[in-house]
Each structure stands twice: as C-alpha cells, then as structure tokens.
C-alpha cells in the first residue's frame, strides 16, 4: 500500500523539476502535472504504485533524484561585484570578421586575490560573462578551499567509485577463475 506522503513527495519532486526546465514552458508543465494529479486522485489502490514508479523513473532519467549529495557546497565562495574588475576585449581564433571586430571576450580580475580569468567561448557577451564568473568561482574555490574544493571532492568521489568498480571486477574475475577450476576438476573426475 502506498502512503499519501510518497504521492506528495513525488508531486513536490515533479514541481521541483519543472522549475529547472529551460526549453519548455514552465507554466504549461506545472499545469499538466497538477491536472494529472487531480485527474488520478481517485485511482484504485493497485494502480497507484505503478504510477508512482513511472513518475520516479521519469525523474531519475533526468537526474532530478540525486541521493544525498556527498559534495559540500557550503564552502564555495560568493562573488562580490565590488571585488571584480571586468573588461571586454576583442577575441581571437576562428570566426573571422565577427570575432575580430566585436569586443565580446570577457576578462575578470578578482582584486583581493589578483586571480584573472579570460573567457571567449561564444560570440554572445552575456553568456561569456556568465561563464567567466563560473570559472572564477571555481578558481576561487580552489584557491581558498584547496583539498575541500568542489572539484577536488568530485575527483575524490570518482576515484572512490573507480576503486569500488575495480575491486568488484577483481572479485568477479577471481570467482570466474575458481568456477573454471571447479569445472575442470569435475571433468577430470568424470573421466
């Protein structure tokens, strides 16, 4: 039997996912979710678990359900616009005239630490500004938090995962070898 709390939890997770949509009308999505929950309010008891399972599969496929994150984001520094010196310059590289005549390359300098970030990934200045700020935050995180920075935490988790995977594969390999030996022993006994 499914409890009302699990249905409400799924509803909240679907609404949370709706807020992250970029290429879909958020209002339309929210309206559809609400309509579906109202329409299926009187589902028979045996159909509810299936509907909840389908909803959870949908959310998991879009990486909304993330088990408690092992990453500590509490130490990530925030940017103060007062601490930044922002300048725009002409970019370089492929793109011809459009790149060489427009000043859409962003250079950010963090005044307290004197860390400089230069970014020219696209021709759109606003996107370049956003990406430059993200890169600067990552560099500041690395500068201030060293081993506890988010990037280092991710690397550590990946290393742990690969070690677990490797040990699991080693265990399976040993089991296969033992199984083959036991098969050979059985064959010899039969002869």
**Ranges under pLDDT 70 in the chain:** 1-7, 40-69
Q: Write down the pLDDT at residue 9.
A: 74
Long-range Cβ contacts of 164-170 (<8 Å, 24+ apart): none
Report the alpha-carbon distance of residue 105 to residue 122 in Å, rounded.
Answer: 8
| Whole-number pLDDT of residue 50 | 56
Q: What is the pairing mode between strands 105-110 and 115-119?
A: antiparallel
Predicted local confidence at residue 66, as pLDDT:
44
pLDDT at residue 137, as a whole number: 92
Residues 10 and 52: beta-carbon distance below 8 Å: yes
Report d(CA 134, CA 65) in Å as an integer: 24
Query: How many C-beta atoms lie closer than 10 Å to residue 139's C-beta?
Result: 19
pLDDT recorded at residue 112: 94
Q: What is the DSSP letter of 88?
A: E
Tens digit of pLDDT for each residue in 13-31?
A: 777 777 777 777 777 777 7
Is the pTM higher than 0.75?
no
């Amino acid at each position: 039997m499914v409890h009302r709390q699990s249905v409400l939890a799924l509803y909240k997770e679907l609404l949370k996912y709706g807020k992250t949509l970029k290429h879909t009308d958020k209002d339309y999505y929210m309206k559809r979710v609400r309509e579906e929950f109202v329409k299926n309010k009187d589902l028979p008891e045996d159909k509810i678990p299936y509907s909840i399972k389908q909803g959870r599969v949908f959310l998991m496929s879009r990486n909304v359900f993330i088990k408690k994150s092992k990453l500590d984001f509490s130490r990530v520094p925030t940017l103060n616009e007062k601490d930044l010196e922002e300048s725009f310059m002409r970019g370089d590289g492929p793109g011809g005239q459009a790149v060489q005549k427009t000043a859409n390359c962003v250079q950010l300098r963090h005044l307290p630490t004197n860390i400089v970030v230069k970014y020219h990934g696209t021709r759109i200045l606003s996107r370049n500004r956003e990406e430059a700020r993200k890169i600067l935050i990552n560099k500041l995180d690395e500068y201030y938090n060293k081993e506890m920075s988010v990037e280092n935490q991710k690397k550590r988790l990946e290393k742990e995962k690969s070690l677990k995977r490797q040990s699991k594969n080693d265990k399976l390999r040993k089991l296969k070898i033992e199984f083959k030996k036991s098969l050979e022993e059985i064959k010899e006994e039969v002869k």
